[in-house]
Amino acid sequence: MSTPMRVGMPESAVPVGRPLAPFPARSLRAPEAPPAPAGETPLTPVQRLERLCDRGSLRVLRSEVRSPFTDRAGDGDGVAVGAGEIDGRPVVVYAEDPKALGGSLGAAHAQSICRALDIAERAQVPVVGLVSSAGARLQEGLAALAGYGEIFHRIVQLSGVVPQLSVVCGPSAGGGAYAPALTDLVIMTREAAMFLTGPGVVREVMGEDVDAAGLGGPRVHSGNGVCHLVGDDEAHAVQFARRALSYLPSVAGGPLPKRPYSWDACDPGRHVPAEHRKVYDVRDVIADIVDRGSMFELAPRWARNIVTSFARIEGSPAGVLANQPRHLGGVIDADAAQKAARFVRTCHLFGLPLIVLVDTPGFLPGTKQEGAGVIRHGAKLVHAFAEADVPKVTFVLRKSYGGAHIAMNSGALGADMTFAWPDAQLGVMGAPQAVQFVNKRELAAAGDPVRARAVLAAAYEEEQLDSRVAATGGWVDERIEPRDTRDRIAWAMRLLATRTRTPPRAHNVPL
């Protein structure tokens, strides 16, 4: 297999390929965005937007708007809005000012954000918001609440049309939490917090003594799926936002941003133990098959038994979804199904091809999971893959059993191509479990049940689970050597680049 020509430096804005280190470690420091020196005067909202955008590209709008209710919020009524460029591509941006009545949202403040979203819709460009808001301004009552309603409506109308990113930079309550949650990606700083009601109200109503970090800090929300990435500070979080946009088109259906790339030929199979019960880190496999330095993992602390990551193949963006044997053996539970479904749907809406790496023993059984609605959440994943009309290629690395085999982009569910490594096993369940049902009588009559079970399991593996059986039956398109994985991905992406997309239709998603 030939190695691509090195045509430029790999991405280095944020050196990723591993999830954020456990709190409070500082990790993934963006070299372009060092922290402000101690004692430095805090940046104004306009200066913060200038740091987000390419140098000299920001143009501010509505800077003289003032609240009709109070002068205390100052010019802009606590928010700066404008338009600029990120990596040379136009964007609409806004930044709330926590120094102006706590960043609380009044009518004029809301109108400015709505105006920015209207411009983004007309121009068909992404939106990035720097959010820090105490919520609806109490002094303005229903006018403030109506403002949030209008913002929510516009965010939803733009959903799936242009990328919308939120960088939560400080405490954000009520509507200040809901607005980011409606966008495509949420990035928090370590000092940020999101909650529907603040610690004071929780203490008053519920009798719980908790601070802002414990109630809705990044440790909480990076572990429950609300937040996708955590920056050490605002400058670092802004670099995450810039890099995330580098994988997404400016508008759904638009061209994906390509980059120069390099790649070192290697065998990703070196990371995967032959013994199915031994664990490994699937991120090592991903790093070996995508362009060097291009892996950009999302939500690394939530549902760690599945990995969701942007990456590039031959310079072009793609989404990578992979079971993670390092956590829960790669089993799919309710949270993993939700995380995966959301990621698949994001890739579908913005036209990113999907690369699926499968190594899972199935869905997690038990009363806790059934009570958590794993059926409904698993249905989300099935629905997301069946609906997605982007190029979808699946590779079974080691095992693919039961309903999880279907849900993880099987050929029967609509994968464009499916491949399996030679030692992979595909079937209803693992051999030791299967023979307990299939060979129940033989095991009961055996003089040495343990030995009999081992012999019967080996026979079942060969007759039912071996990847040759799947290839013979056409359930996978081809068995390939691990070292050929990237080559097959790149070939499939080129072949499927002009894949026909179906016209949008309304579906009742099992939310």
Structure tokens at 314: 């031959």
Identify whether the C-beta of residue 14 lies closer than 8 Å to the C-beta of residue 294. Answer: no
Work out the burial of residue 196: count CB atoms within 10 Å of its CB; fewer than 13 is exposed, 13-18 middle, 19 or more buried: middle
Q: What backbone torsions phi and psi does residue 310 show, to the nearest 5 degrees?
A: -80, 155
Catalytic residue among 76, 174, 330, 427: 174
* Residues 314, 288: Cα–Cα separation, whole Å: 13
Single-letter amino acid code for the residue at 293: G
Are 400 and 358 in contact by the 8 Å Cβ rule? The answer is: yes
C-beta neighbour count of 511 within 10 angstroms? 10
Angle between the N-to-C axes of helices 431-438 and 449-460, in degrees from 0 to 180, rounded to the nearest 10: 110
Concatenate the DSSP letters of all residues of 166-234 into one string: EEE-SEEETHHHHHHHTSSEEEEETT-EEESS-HHHHHHHH-----HHHHHSHHHHTTTTS-SEEESSH
Residue in 82, 103, 135, 175 annotated catalytic: 175
- Which of 213, 403, 446, 454 is catalytic? The answer is 403
Give the DSSP letter string of 429-440.
S-HHHHHHHHTH
DSSP-assigned states of every residue in 81-140: EEEEEETTEEEEEEEE-TTTGGG-B-HHHHHHHHHHHHHHHHHT--EEEEE----B-GGG
Q: Cβ of 38: how many Cβ atoms within 10 Å? A: 5
Q: Half-sphere exposure (CA, 13 Å, Cβ side) for 10?
A: 21
- What φ, ψ does residue 200 adopt, rounded to 5°? -65, -45
174 is catalytic: yes
Q: Does the annotation count 403 as an active-site position? A: yes
What phi and psi values does residue 445 have, to the nearest 5 degrees? -90, -10
State the catalytic residue, choosing from 404, 420, 431, 490: 404
Q: Could you list the active site residues?
A: 174-175, 403-404
